[in-house]
Chains A and B, each alone.
Chain A
Amino acid sequence: MPMEKKQKRLYLRIAILAVLVAAIVYTIYTTANKNDVKLLKVGDDAPNFSLVDLNGKTHKLSDYKGQGVLLNFWGTWCKPCKKEMPAINDQYKEFKDQGIQILGINIAQSELEVTSFTDKLGVEFPIVIDKTRSVMRAYNVDPLPATILINKDGKIENIITGEMKEKEINQYLNSIKP
């Protein structure tokens, strides 16, 4: 048999085996890591959204381009949310004139619950209610509280799940200051 033909056959075999082995490895790898798949990662574009706050003002993320944005997802039943809320509020007072926006995003609760909660805590930053859980789903938020930091270019700078201390909040906000 001519050498050339044999070579060709060998290459064909290598190619087929390589493709199939790669497919098997890929399948095993993705199955093993199925549960870690996150829709959203640091560095991604922050999904745009538009929600109305308790005073009837519409907040659209794209309007805050050029500013650092902190999104805090919370619910009244969530204890750590309640704990970190005053700290966020304090930091809000400090940073609100430095090109920082803070939005509290409540997950689909009634206005009554939300207002009585924020009134009690004296929250000053805008609170929006995500009635349809659309923003929560867009940001793939599951356990509360969850905080998303967005830089002035609209990219996600950091994703924090769980309660934050005031010092940490300060650092985070400094990191997204324009």
Chain B
Amino acid sequence: MKNITCECGHVNPEGTHLCEKCGRPLTEEEKHAKVVDMKYEGRAIRSKTYNKTIIDKIWNFFSSVKVGVSIIVITLVAAAIGTFLPQVMYVNVMQGEDAKQAYIDNYGTFGKIYYNLGLSDIYSSWWFQTLIGMLAISIIAASIDRGVPLYKSLKNQRVKRHESFMKRQRIFGEKEIAADKAEESLNLAEKKMKELKYKVRREDGVLLAEKNRFARSGPYINHVGLIIFLFGVMLRLMPGFYIDESLWIREGETASIPGMDGYYLHNNKFTFETYKKEEQKQEFNQSKAAVNSIAKNYQSDVVLYQSKDEGIAGETQDMKKVAHHAIQVNKPLKYDGYALYQMDFKLNELKAMNFNLVNKKTGKSLGEVDIDLTEPKKEYDLGSGSKVEVKGYYPTFSGFDDGEPQSDSPLPNNPAFIFKMYTPETPKGETSFVAIKQTLEPLGTTKYQMKFQNIETRNVSGLTIRKDRTLPILAIGGIIFMLGVVIGSYWSHRRLWLQRTNDGRLLLAAHTNKNWFSMKKDLDAVTTYAHLPLWVDQQEEDEKEMEEKEGDNTL
């Protein structure tokens, strides 16, 4: 490790551009530059200074801004590629079909290649997550390596800088001045700069006015916020931090809630509304778009219950009503850290069927039977000696197997029944198999029949249940990030150095990390007020010279 000893006697670590104490340029490059590079105050960026162990090499790799930006750009490109086709979670995959087939069917050869390359689930791929992880390493390494020296340097900065430092500032000016005049100028400058909300430090014949140093911390603060945010995102993969479940619940049904032990939900009603013509604007009704009705509301009216002992599943005897809510899109039911969202629905599922027991020949009715398809009764008594027994119930009748009706689902999609009908006329009972648009009389022709009258339907709500215990962490990360970005963007760190030299000159130099235009306004104000030397923007001068050399040949 080679240290650099400055002419002023200060020992600087290797890699330092400008002496930590007096600001003298130390490298050949800076010595010959007209304007010095003021990034990180010319301090040594730690990563660049030594490179011995493998750990240091890895660290230095990630600490490089070039590497950081490269990771950002690769992430950006990968993210863009992921939008070429819908990701697998947004693709409708038919039952019994695999996702690959869905991509081929929808998007042809391109879809096939896209799927085979794993681009259809790009954001969960190991390499995309590794990219984000590398970004996190880069953020941390780069921030530590730059933030620490910058902080030290700004904290320990001297009022007096060497003339060579001041001369190489972008804004510089000098003039000859008598000692007493110089002192007066410094006094006036101090007054004015204080008026402009600068902090002023003075030593013998030198002045440093500084404002908004905290703005330099902005990038580091927002990086802290980002790391907290990414940590929160990772945390939700841990068991218990994140619950994502869904629940289909029918009107009138009470169901336990997946992911919410001890809670039960009762669905009173699901409503789907569209806008009526009179609710829409007239000119909209006249347009083509008005042909299709526009959805107005999806709503599930639910009651949330909590069982007394959540450790005992199925215990629904002593439930306590804890909330009732109309869940709408944008209005989830929130309770105890859980949230229930309106996500989907099915309309008009069969709920009840109504039959009429009639004499086939005369058409005379002996009464109606109303069968609740979720809880059919064994027997329906019609009075006057008539009754109907339900001998078999098949919610989704799918055909006969060995002479026996089969049902391949518990849902009443295609209900069928075996009825035994007792009437005064047929006291021994007659058996009939009744399905939608189908009646069989397996035990001989019957005198009576269960004539289908009508149906009742109900709707099904599709809800999503979420609990995300990482949200507070994400919120804190987000707030810190925003704070950092605002501090770093909306304030600028401005400094003005004044120095009376021994040979009777007054030097002026100024620096800001951004917004030079506004800095110059401050300088304009103080220069005239305190009779300071006229200054020039050395960078702008360069440009002007260049332009004049090129000449006026564009017109």
Task: Spell out A's residues near B (CB within 8 Å).
Answer: 1, 9-10, 13-14, 16-17, 20-21, 23-24, 26-28, 30-32, 37, 47-51, 60, 62, 75-77, 107-113, 115-116, 128, 130-135, 137-138
Q: Residue B312 contacts which of A49, A131, A132 (CB distance < 8 angstroms)?
A: A49
The answer on a CB contact under 8 Å between A24 and B133 is yes
Chain B residues within 8 Å of A109, by CB: 410
Contacting pair A108 B129 (CB below 8 A): no
Q: What would 8 more interface pairs be, CB under 8 Å, given A24-B134, A50-B313, A110-B376?
A: A10-B55, A28-B130, A50-B315, A111-B375, A112-B375, A112-B393, A113-B393, A132-B316
Contact B410 A108 (CB under 8 A): yes
Verify A26–B375 contact, CB threshold 8 A.
no
Chain B contacts for A113, CB-based, 8 A: 393, 395, 410
Q: Which residues of A contact B374 (CB under 8 A)?
A: 110
Distance (Å) between the CB of A107 and the closest chain B CB? 7
**CB-defined contacts of A111 to chain B, threshold 8 Å:** 375
Instruction: Scan B112-145; emit 1 where CB is below 8 A from any A CB, else 0.
Output: 0000000000001010011001101100110010
Q: Which residue on A lies nearest to B255, using beta carbons?
A: A132
Chain B residues engaging chain A, CB cutoff 8 angstroms: 1, 13, 46, 53, 55-56, 58-59, 124, 126, 129-130, 133-134, 136-137, 140-141, 144, 231, 234, 237-239, 254-256, 258, 261, 264, 311-316, 374-378, 390-393, 395-396, 407-410
Contacting pair B129 A20 (CB below 8 A): no
The main secondary structure of chain B at its interface with chain A is: mixed
B153 to chain A, nearest CB (A): 17
**Contact across chains for A110 and B393 when beta carbons are under 8 A apart:** yes
Chain A interface secondary structure, helix, strand, loop or mixed? helix
With contacts A27-B133, A132-B316 taken as known, whether A138 is within 8 angstroms of B55 at the C-beta atoms is no
B313/A112 in contact, CB under 8 A? no
In the complex, chain A residues whose CB is within 8 Å of the CB of B59: 13, 17
Docked-complex contact B256 and A133, CB < 8 angstroms: yes
Number of A-B contacts (CB under 8 A): 117
Q: Residue of A at shortest CB range from B233?
A: A27
For A77, give its contact among B255, B311, B378, B409 (CB under 8 Å).
Answer: B409
Q: Contacts A37-B239, A113-B393: A130 and B409 contacting too (C-beta < 8 A)?
A: no
Specify the chain B residue showing the minimal Cβ separation from A18: B55
CA A20 to CA B392, docked complex, whole Å: 62
Residues of A with C-beta under 8 A to B13: 1
Distance in Å from the Cβ of B275 to the closest Cβ of chain A?
36
Contact of A112 with B377 in the complex, beta carbons under 8 Å: yes
The one of A13, A28, A62 in contact with B55, judged by C-beta atoms closer than 8 angstroms, is A13
Pairs across A and B, CB under 8 Å, 29 listed: A1-B1, A10-B55, A13-B55, A17-B59, A17-B137, A20-B133, A20-B136, A20-B140, A23-B133, A23-B231, A24-B129, A24-B130, A26-B237, A28-B126, A31-B237, A32-B126, A49-B315, A60-B312, A77-B395, A77-B408, A112-B377, A116-B391, A128-B314, A130-B314, A133-B255, A134-B264, A134-B316, A135-B313, A137-B258
With beta carbons under 8 angstroms apart, the residue of A23, A49, A76, A137 that contacts B407 is: A76
CB <8 Å contact, A77 and B140:
no
Q: In the bound complex, do residue A131 and residue B313 qualify as a contact, i.e. CB atoms below 8 Å apart? A: no
Chain B hits for A135, CB < 8 A:
313-314
Given the interface pairs A47-B313, A49-B313, the reply to whether A116 lies near B375 with Cβ below 8 Å is: no
